């Protein structure tokens, strides 16, 4: 008897941590559905790489802040492959605002970040509940940040939305047990295009400052974070409601760096 084909949805799966996770899931034997909001070319390239690994992939335009779009994303996945086993909520956004510039923290910034980073993850989790239960169980991983605990990062609203996402992880883990496990990962500074674009001229300075101060001597790359996500998916079936930190020791270092001069 052959085992059923496993299927994963990775939001924001075309770039950065999402891309690394999508490819890692393909190596584990999953078909992978990727959503994107702006990075169509990157998403389609990731699908091509998934197919090179011998698995099937699809890329679909879907804004996670839109509940109807999330439901269509899940319905398209079930239509294509009949089931959903894993959801990785990797889609996220931020605004780079110095913490002391409170006047730039507008209601529009709060609303946009909360709708994507928290409500979007909830939309997707709610949409996959039924197909996961129909498949006999599943796993959800939310991509958070050490900003949730440290209160430092790109902006105050970003830190707050990631703290809310950590609470959502625990709340959903209680609600969806025993069939569906819900965990999270909390990366530290992640090297790559997204962070570089946000920090601009300050990127190299901040990256080097972290590398000199972190206990393990380097910042995360997307593959480091993906490895933690994959360990939660393929590891012990008795882990739920946990957020795993992957930060090169940032949480224990006590180091703080300003994201702007």
Sign of CA dihedral 63, 67, 69, 74: positive
Q: Which residues are the active-site residues?
A: 158
For residue 146, give the nearest of 8, 257, 23 by alpha carbon: 257
Residue pair 187/20 in contact (Cβ under 8 Å)? The answer is no
**Non-local CB neighbours of 150 within 8 Å, separated by 6+ positions:** 159, 250, 251, 256
For residue 36, give the nearest of 67, 69, 6 by alpha carbon: 69
Q: C-alpha angle 106/110/115, rounded to 5°? A: 145
Residue pair 142/169 in contact (Cβ under 8 Å)? The answer is yes
How far apart are the C-alpha atoms of 32 and 23, rounded to whole Å? 9
């Amino acid at each position: 008897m052959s085992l059923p084909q496993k299927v994963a949805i990775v939001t924001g799966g075309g770039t950065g941590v999402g891309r690394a996770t999508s490819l890692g899931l393909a190596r584990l034997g999953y078909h992978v559905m990727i959503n994107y909001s702006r990075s169509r070319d990157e998403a389609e390239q990731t699908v091509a790489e998934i197919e090179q690994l011998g698995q099937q992939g699809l890329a679909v335009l879907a804004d996670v802040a839109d509940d109807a779009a999330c439901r269509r994303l899940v319905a398209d996945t079930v239509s294509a492959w009949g089931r959903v086993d894993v959801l990785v909520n990797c889609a996220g956004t931020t605004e780079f605002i110095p913490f002391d510039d409170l006047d730039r923290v507008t209601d529009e910034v709060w609303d946009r970040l909360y709708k994507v980073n928290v409500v979007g993850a909830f939309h997707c989790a709610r949409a996959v509940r039924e197909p996961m239960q129909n498949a006999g169980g599943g796993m959800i991983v939310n991509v958070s940040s050490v900003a949730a605990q440290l209160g430092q990062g790109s902006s105050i609203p970003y830190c707050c939305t990631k703290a809310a996402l950590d609470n959502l992880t625990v709340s959903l883990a209680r609600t969806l047990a025993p069939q569906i496990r819900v965990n999270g990962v909390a990366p530290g500074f992640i090297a790559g295009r997204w962070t570089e674009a946000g920090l601009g001229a300050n990127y190299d300075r901040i990256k080097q400052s972290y590398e000199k101060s972190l206990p393990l001597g380097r910042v995360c790359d997307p593959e480091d974070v993906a490895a933690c996500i994959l360990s939660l998916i393929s590891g012990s079936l008795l882990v739920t409601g946990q957020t795993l930190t992957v930060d090169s020791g940032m949480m224990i270092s006590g180091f703080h760096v300003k994201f702007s001069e």
